[in-house]
């Protein structure tokens, strides 16, 4: 299992774990509950009726397709998940969820997103990452803009769009590294 670690200045430990099947099964009830919450499903294009088996299938298919899913923990408590999907030779697509409304808006999404981008650019040596946020998803767009993403309407970027209701953005490795210099060295990969 790959594990990303980032000790923050306030003493909290942010950990992102690429889970095996047993770890997915352990956390599937919380993940399914969060995926099915209206506020999350509407922003992630989810069906709203994912079962525990659907969660396990999602993680298995992600890994089988060359993607990387991570469970996100703060001081050992699960708070959400994130992944790199549609992984190609030098690019991938990024998605993230902070599950509970009580833990949203406190900087967790931004911190975990930064960690997986360090993994993607520094450790996997990808060149570019794409996102396809819904037009109304202001929170994730702000998160992505702060990481260094810019609008990208190229055919390659639009190929990541699941429907017309999304904008497409991308970020390159040098831009991410210049925008997030501390994280590049501080995030540990185990
Ligand atoms: C989008 C999401 C991952 C953001 O994570 P978070 O921990 O809540 O957000 P953060 O606290 O890290 O804040 C990130 C940015 O969003 C802004 N933000 C957070 N909540 C917001 C809200 N309700 N409305 C507008 N902006 C918001 C923050 O101000 C911050 O921007 P800033 O740095 O310019 O101030 C989280 O809200 C989530 O999981 N939403 C549901 C699933 C989803 O939309 N996933 C993305 C699609 S793949």
Q: Is pLDDT of 1 > 90? A: no
CA distances from residue 35 to 48, 82, 127, 138, 172 in whole angstroms, order as listed: 7, 12, 29, 19, 29
Q: Which CATH class is domain 3-189?
A: alpha beta
Residues having CB closer than 6 A to ligand 1 are 40, 43-44, 95-98, 104-110, 133, 137-140, 142-143, 146
The per-residue pLDDT of the chain, averaged, comes to 97
Q: Tell me the pLDDT tens digit for each residue of 118-143.
A: 999 999 999 999 999 999 999 999 99
Q: What percent of the chain has pLDDT over 90?
A: 99
Handedness of CA 150, 153, 157, 160 (dihedral sign): positive
Kindly state the DSSP code that residue 164 receives in the 8-state scheme. Answer: T
CA of 159 to the centre of ligand 1 (A): 24
CA of 137 to the centre of ligand 1 (A): 8
pLDDT of 124: 98
DSSP lists the bridge partners of residue 170 as 130, 150
Using DSSP's 3-state secondary structure scheme, residue 15 falls into strand
Pocket perturbation via mutation, ligand 1, pick of 44, 109, 165 by most ligand atoms within 8 A of CB = 109
Q: Tell me the pLDDT tens digit for each residue of 23-59.
A: 999 999 999 999 999 999 999 999 999 999 999 999 9
Answer whether 0.85 is exceeded by the pTM.
Answer: yes
Q: Is pLDDT of 99 > 90? A: yes
**Ligand 1 atom with the shortest distance to the CA of 94:** 48
């Amino acid at each position: 299992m790959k594990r990303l670690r980032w000790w923050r200045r306030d003493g909290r430990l942010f950990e992102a774990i690429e889970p095996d099947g047993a770890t997915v099964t352990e956390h599937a009830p919380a993940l399914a509950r969060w995926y099915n919450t209206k506020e999350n499903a509407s922003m992630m294009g989810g069906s709203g009726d994912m079962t525990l088996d659907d969660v396990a299938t999602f993680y298995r298919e992600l890994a089988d397709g060359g993607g990387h899913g991570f469970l996100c923990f703060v001081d050992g408590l699960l708070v959400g998940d994130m992944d790199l999907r549609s992984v190609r030779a030098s690019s991938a697509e990024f998605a993230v969820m902070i599950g509970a409304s009580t833990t949203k808006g406190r900087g967790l999404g931004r911190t975990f997103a930064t960690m997986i981008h360090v993994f993607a650019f520094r450790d996997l040596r990808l060149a570019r990452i794409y996102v396809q946020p819904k037009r109304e998803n202001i929170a994730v767009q702000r998160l992505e803009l702060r990481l260094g993403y810019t609008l990208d309407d190229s055919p390659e970027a639009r190929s990541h769009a699941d429907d017309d209701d999304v904008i497409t953005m991308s970020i390159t490795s040098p831009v991410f590294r210049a925008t997030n210099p501390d994280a590049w060295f501080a995030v540990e990969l185990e």
